[in-house]
Structure 1
Amino acid sequence: MDQTTPFIYPGDEGSKLKPSSRYENFIGGDWQKPKSGKYFENISPTSGKVICEVPRSNAEDIDFALDAAHKAAPAWGKTGPAERANILLKIADRIEENTEKLALAETLDNGKPIREGFAADIPLTVDHFRYFAGAIRAQEGTIGNIDGMQSGGGNSALGMMAYHYPEPLGVVGQIIPWNFPILMAAWKLAPALAAGNAVVLKPAEQTPFSINVLMEVIGDLLPAGVANIVHGYGVEAGKPLASSKRVKKVGFTGETTTGRLILQYASENLIPVTLELGGKSPNIYFKDIMGGSDDYISRCVEGFLHAYFNQGEVCTCPSRAIIHEDIYEPFMEMVKERVKALNCGSPFDLNTQVGAQASNEQFEKIMSYLDIGKQEGAEVLFGGEKREMNGNFSGGYYVEPTAFKGNNSMRIFQEEIFGPVVSVATFKDEAEAVSIANDTLYGLGAGVWSRDANICYRMGR
């Protein structure tokens, strides 16, 4: 691929992606209209223009999808691991063959730079299906001897044995976020399908398009009803799925407040639920990182800039930087120089490093936090404004990579912004660094940067 030439914009002549004006739900191996006949517009964050219409589904559509899943689940659950693995391998191959098309769909739908979809999201999706194709074939049951061998002959001589072997749950409900639509779908679908479950999956209403393209690519490889995709808003479609008595488990990745509701819905039916929620991850930088001009200090700066990966729309985004006060100024000067070099151009250019925020809703949320930080008295180190774009991208949702200096009591330190915003504070000693890092409602991730392995180990503990 020519790294100097942007991809052709989806829908334009020569592009590998030609969006349809309307999509349906994928249920029972076919495309199904919503029962209400209602649709909503899917907006591209790259331009602010409509990509397509998708179903505004409700509980009736969820039940229809659950009917299809329950019809398919018994036969699918009885297939052998080798058969399921072979199907997952075919899915992986098909996705790999359509990498460019799917990466284009992801950028158009989500706003992320095409380089991320082309080099990371789609290859990782392929890898995920291949991994679980291998994992399910390697899984084994076990036999445990409970009370040992008995004397006296007869059957009692065998003792008491316990047999353990995995079985599919049946039908599971899955709800995914908008920051990695295709990759998150793979994270949910691949293990569930490998284990012999049928799935009803609801994508985020902000990014429904790329999942439709994915199902156009792989839908024919699965038996009808094994994987079902139902679009819609959280309250209208997500809640009926999470609270349904017809699912045996719910998997959810997304915002913490919504996760609490999902947990509540699932608990009413006494079914297991898996949640992966938000974060406000700290990176702690000790003064010994400035001990030389070698590659390590460059990596430390790169660690700071990881906060702008995927426009900061990552649950483990290092959105808090806690820097030793003795190195704050020289280290931040290095960060500022590196930020100036970030390529913030067209999301469809392979050289672009920072794209568009996933939706106008998220853009407005980030802009509100930029105002909050300024009102709280935080110092704007760089950025802090909307990023202006030209031409076809002028109506898109772009934010400048931003850093504030303040203190950990500020809202911009305590609340998840989910955008390209880093809140910076300084510390005097290890105790203060730990205190600042742990003073948060979140606990998803953290980083320690030091040349001293003892410090890294001690802080990690």
Structure 2
Amino acid sequence: MSTNLKAIESNYGIRDEYGHLIGGEWVGGASGKTIALLNPATGETLARIQAGNAADVGRAVAAAKAAFPAWSQSSAAERQDLLYEIARRLKARLEEYAVLETLNNGKPIRESLYFDLPNAIGQFELFAGAAYGLHGQTLDFPDAIGIVHREPLGVCAQIIPWNVPLLMMACKIAPALAAGNTVVLKPAETVCLSVLEFFVEMADILPPGVVNVVTGYGADVGEALVTHPDVRKVAFTGSVATARRVIQYASANIVPQTLELGGKSAHIICADADIDAAVESATMSTVLNKGEVCLAGSRLFLHEAIEEEFLEKFRDALGNIRQGDPLDPATQLGAQASTMQMEKIESYLALAIEEGATVFAGGARSADAGLAKGHFVQPTIFTKVANDMRIAQEEIFGPVTTVQSWRDEDEMMARANDTSFGLAGGVWTRDLARAHRIARKLETGTVWINRYYNLKPNMPLGGYKQSGFGREFSHEVLNHYTQTKSVIVNLDEGKLGMFDQ
């Protein structure tokens, strides 16, 4: 694949400026202010978006509310056809969407092509079929029939992050639309080019107001959106700190929420593991999407019997990772998504030394002079890490893995679970009983055995503890986008006789 920024701008038509999508139309923001979308690998400005505010949110929610009666009464066939058509269009221009994702986020094009886009397409395909599965139930009684209806909630506020924007958009709007809801979506203000171009293409098939998009800073858009009295459900993916505010905002109108938050997942390597395969998984967990993945197995627990061999192979593997231009198909590690994220990672690299950890590999910005304009970090391994260190407890969200050794399984499990997070985890062993035992003990929403990031369709994904609540990426999420209504039909004729006067 040969691509460059000017060719994509010319062939795909990246706009100089994007408006809000409200009621089926692209409109300017009430504030008149804009925000630059940057290429983190070069510092170039790609486009500008609206700096939205409460007035923009009000218009978007009104449009979603107006569209809800008709959309909620649409047939399963209509909703299925829409979601399949979205998937078809994504497939038809997969390479172009992948380039947009890479340009704005800094992830390697190989990941956009083979991970982000296929999984985003998969969400629309998965929930297209789900439109027919939203049935209630009946309960039979001698004197009555009980009917349980499942109904859409109404206007859903959805807030997505910057690390995998197309996939996050897909996993939010696909189930919401399948269930008959309408949406106001707030993408991240730093990375949303692919999402906006998605809606440019899909605007002609989306009924006006069914999906609305308002861009801007969280403080200006997020609070106004979540506290709006006509919003009936909130879905948020992002940091714990922001989630706390979202929960407080949603409490104003007693609005149900699903929250998918941070992680600090344990990746456990037992003495009998397939070392080479486990090293590959640890490498992938470190560098996939530059480590900007909430599921990352960033706490590596190595059994002391294989620790030395594993670490040498792990360091060699990371040393051979090809870091460079994210649009180069050979690149395996791209640029961190923003200046803010780069500075956060650098602060943790310094903190690790202060806390007494040892730099086993990496530990700094890239030394390649050709990458100096971008946000490039060396893939990093820290050893001699204590579980109470901040680098072992806090989400760094970069290509950084901390290592702890272990001998006793029970003691190791206590450390693995000694975290405020519980999103994912992994275990490597050839012992079937041990694999199941550890998987059951891990206080986390997903456990991968003998292959990390082994994501499969329709498997629920969500967290324990401060990693959030609710499940996405599976039909289970439809429970979060519908509510039930009980209808009881009396079959007995005449009076009860208890209150006969």
Fold-level similarity (TM above 0.5): yes
Output the amino acid matched with 1:187. Answer: C
Contact between 1:192 and 1:199, CA under 8 Å: does it hold in 2?
yes
Matched, 1:53 2:31: no
2:236 corresponds, among 252, 256, 280, to 252
Output the amino acid matched with 1:270. Answer: I
Contact between 2:267 and 2:425, CA under 8 Å: does it hold in 1?
yes
Contact between 1:10 and 1:18, CA under 8 Å: does it hold in 2?
no
* In 2: Cα distance, 1:53 partner to 1:35 partner: 15
Match of 1:339 in 2: 318
Output the amino acid matched with 1:363. Answer: M
Match of 2:207 in 1: 223
Deviation at 1:11, TM superposition (A): 2.2
Matched, 1:412 2:391: yes
Deviation at 1:41, TM superposition (A): 1.3
Match of 2:255 in 1: 271
Match of 1:364 in 2: 343
Match of 2:177 in 1: 193
1:438 corresponds, among 395, 412, 417, to 417
Match of 2:365 in 1: 386
* In 2: Cα distance, 1:335 partner to 1:20 partner: 43
Gap change, CA 1:140 and 1:110, over 3 Å in 2: same
Gaps of 5+ in 1: 150-158, 290-295
Match of 1:327 in 2: 306
Deviation at 1:265, TM superposition (A): 1.2
- Could you give the per-residue CA deviations for residues 149-192 of structure 1, whole angstroms, max 9, x where no partner exists? 2xxxxxxxxx1221112211111100001110011000001010
- Find the residue that maps to 1:165 and give its secondary structure: strand
Contact between 1:33 and 1:55, CA under 8 Å: does it hold in 2?
yes
Contact between 2:43 and 2:374, CA under 8 Å: does it hold in 1?
yes
* In 2: Cα distance, 1:217 partner to 1:433 partner: 50
Output the amino acid matched with 1:427. Answer: W
* In 2: Cα distance, 1:22 partner to 1:202 partner: 17
- Find the residue that maps to 1:398 and give its secondary structure: coil
Match of 1:153 in 2: none
* In 1: Cα distance, 2:110 partner to 2:12 partner: 16
* In 2: Cα distance, 1:322 partner to 1:350 partner: 32
Match of 2:434 in 1: 455
Deviation at 1:65, TM superposition (A): 0.5
* In 2: Cα distance, 1:399 partner to 1:15 partner: 31
Match of 2:30 in 1: 35
Give the alignment of 1:155-304 within 5 angstroms.
159-289=143-273, 296-304=274-282
Contact between 1:107 and 1:347, CA under 8 Å: does it hold in 2?
yes
Match of 1:97 in 2: 92
Deviation at 1:15, TM superposition (A): 6.2
* In 1: Cα distance, 2:401 partner to 2:8 partner: 40
2:116 corresponds, among 114, 121, 136, to 121
Q: Which 10-residue stretch deviates more, 246-255 or 379-388?
A: 379-388
Match of 2:374 in 1: 396
- Find the residue that maps to 1:331 and give its secondary structure: helix
Deviation at 1:345, TM superposition (A): 2.2
- Find the residue that maps to 1:444 and give its secondary structure: coil
Output the amino acid matched with 2:160. Answer: I
Match of 2:70 in 1: 75
- Find the residue that maps to 1:63 and give its secondary structure: helix
- Could you give the per-residue CA deviations for residues 357-399 of structure 1, whole angstroms, max 9, x where no partner exists? 11110010001100000111110010111114555x5411111
- Could you give the per-residue CA deviations for residues 403-431 of structure 1, whole angstroms, max 9, x where no partner exists? 10121121110111011000101112102
Gaps of 5+ in 2: 441-501
Deviation at 1:208, TM superposition (A): 2.3
Gap change, CA 1:357 and 1:22, over 3 Å in 2: same
Contact between 1:8 and 1:14, CA under 8 Å: does it hold in 2?
no
- Find the residue that maps to 2:272 and give its secondary structure: helix
1:425 corresponds, among 404, 411, 436, to 404
Contact between 1:10 and 1:16, CA under 8 Å: does it hold in 2?
no
- Could you give the per-residue CA deviations for residues 43-86 of structure 1, whole angstroms, max 9, x where no partner exists? 11121121111111001100010111111111111111111110
* In 2: Cα distance, 1:36 partner to 1:361 partner: 24
Gap change, CA 1:212 and 1:127, over 3 Å in 2: same
- Find the residue that maps to 2:356 and give its secondary structure: coil
- Could you give the per-residue CA deviations for residues 297-337 of structure 1, whole angstroms, max 9, x where no partner exists? 22111121122211111111000001112221111111112
* In 1: Cα distance, 2:377 partner to 2:64 partner: 41
Contact between 2:98 and 2:113, CA under 8 Å: does it hold in 1?
yes
* In 2: Cα distance, 1:126 partner to 1:330 partner: 40
* In 1: Cα distance, 2:9 partner to 2:50 partner: 29
Output the amino acid matched with 1:217. Answer: E
- Find the residue that maps to 1:249 and give its secondary structure: strand
TM-score under structure 1 length normalisation: 0.92
Contact between 1:11 and 1:18, CA under 8 Å: does it hold in 2?
no
* In 2: Cα distance, 1:331 partner to 1:241 partner: 48
Gap change, CA 1:232 and 1:64, over 3 Å in 2: same
- Could you give the per-residue CA deviations for residues 5-27 of structure 1, whole angstroms, max 9, x where no partner exists? 5x312223796444222111111
- Find the residue that maps to 2:151 and give its secondary structure: coil
* In 1: Cα distance, 2:102 partner to 2:247 partner: 31
Match of 2:466 in 1: none
Deviation at 1:227, TM superposition (A): 0.6
2:138 corresponds, among 136, 143, 147, to 143
Q: Which 10-residue stretch deviates more, 245-254 or 450-459?
A: 450-459
* In 2: Cα distance, 1:250 partner to 1:142 partner: 26
Q: Which 10-residue stretch deviates more, 395-404 or 17-26?
A: 17-26
Contact between 2:8 and 2:96, CA under 8 Å: does it hold in 1?
no
TM-score under structure 2 length normalisation: 0.85
Matched, 1:9 2:4: yes
Gap change, CA 1:416 and 1:9, over 3 Å in 2: same
Percentage of identical aligned residues = 43
Contact between 2:8 and 2:14, CA under 8 Å: does it hold in 1?
no
Contact between 2:165 and 2:187, CA under 8 Å: does it hold in 1?
yes
Deviation at 1:223, TM superposition (A): 0.6
